[in-house]
Amino acid sequence: MADGAIAWSENEIGALTAKVKALKASMARVIIGQENVIDSLIICLLAGGHALVEGVPGLGKTLLVKSLSQATELDFHRVQFTPDLMPSDIVGTEILEEDHATRKREFRFQQGPVFTQVLLADEINRAPPKTQSALLEAMQERSVTFAGQTHKLPKPFFVLATQNPIEQAGTYPLPEAQLDRFLLRIDVVYPTEAEEIAMVSATTHAGLKDAEPVMDVATLLRLQQLVRDIEIGEHLLAYATRLVRATRPALTTVPAVKKHIAWGAGPRAGQALVLASKARALMQGRLAVTREDIAEMLLPVLAHRVLRNFEAEADGVAIADILQALREHIRPD
């Protein structure tokens, strides 16, 4: 373990990794297919970050988040973002209360739905920028300040914001600086034919059961501590940093980046890549990061942090293709 790390016993490490496997199994009993999505969601939770989930309607994004909260016994709130949603509808507001005995009136802060442990911000790009900013500030600060008073959010605090990639009319795209607040972007894709048949069969008979609770809050917080103490070699730390720096057109030697990227990822992306790689290593039952962990987390960490230029958009060049070229060009020492 790293310097200053907690001393972990083999028994506790074994028990914690077993809980991670049980969490995945519990969600997989409810979510048919989508193994990569489940893995990414758990990785984001273990790393203590937030996730931006993209996919067309009907792919089970809400069910995915609900199952996660059930399996971890975390409080869950869902907010449907709409153009008329106000910041106070998210973070809360002050209400005037009167004491019936003394007739004294005073303001009391009434908490909004953000005061939960798992928050599903459904179709976040449908709310105006001011409302988006209120949520994103709470995500970053882990607290809400209202009328000069700071109110701490529960621990853990995990936000999953969904976006529909098809419908763009009447939406307010998140600025790149705000997208950077999300640790991962998770793409929910169409299921295979066999998975879709199983899904239709399960949902048109008795219906899907709830996910079985397999992890409590105390265990999850210990797992988040353990992720921070996962080992990563200096050469892999340098490799992750080089990958992030190579997304910047002014610094890169990667032809695909020079040609197709208008703006690269900032230093926060390097932190996210290392944390996500540590969480993936733990998911795989390892206490040290490998090159494969970094390579596998490159797309979900960087997909929403790099901006394609006009030429790339006009030619239909996907972010995934550019990052694949980056991964092939930049090698660890």
Low-confidence ranges of the chain (pLDDT < 70): 1-6, 166-170, 205-208
Give the pLDDT confidence of 38-66 residue by residue, as tens digits.
999 999 999 999 999 988 777 778 888 88
The span from the CA of 12 to the CA of 264, in Å, is: 40
Close Cβ partners of 257 (under 8 Å, ≥ 6 residues apart): 246, 247, 248, 249, 264, 322, 325, 326
pTM of the model: 0.89
> CB count, 10 Å around CB of 164?
16
At 5 the pLDDT is: 55
* Cα angle 45, 51, 54; round to 5: 135
At 182 the pLDDT is: 94
Structure tokens at 169: 């009319």
At 3 the pLDDT is: 53
At 175 the pLDDT is: 80
Give the pLDDT confidence of 230-247 residue by residue, as tens digits.
999 999 999 999 999 999
Structural domains of the chain ordered from first start = 1-82+119-125+153-229 (3.40.50.300), 232-333 (1.10.8.80)
At 168 the pLDDT is: 64
At 150 the pLDDT is: 87
